[in-house]
Amino acid sequence: MISDEVFFDPRKKAEQSAADQNKVTKEEAEKAANIAMGGLVVGSIVRLTLTPAVLMWVWNMAMPAIGVATIGYWTAMGLYIIARLLFKHDD
Interval 28-62: pLDDT, tens: 888 889 999 999 999 999 999 999 999 999 999 99
Q: What is the dihedral of CA 48, 52, 54, 83, to 10 degrees?
A: 100
- Indicate if the pLDDT at residue 89 is higher than 90: no
**For position 46, what pLDDT does the model report?**
94
Residue 3 backbone dihedrals phi, psi, to 5 degrees: -85, 155
Distance CA 83, CA 80 (A): 5
pTM of the model: 0.61
Distance CA 33, CA 28 (A): 9
- Indicate if the pLDDT at residue 14 is higher than 90: no
**For position 6, what pLDDT does the model report?**
64
- Indicate if the pLDDT at residue 73 is higher than 90: yes
**For position 28, what pLDDT does the model report?**
82
Distance CA 80, CA 91 (A): 15
- Domain range annotation of the chain: 10-86
Average pLDDT of 62-88? 92
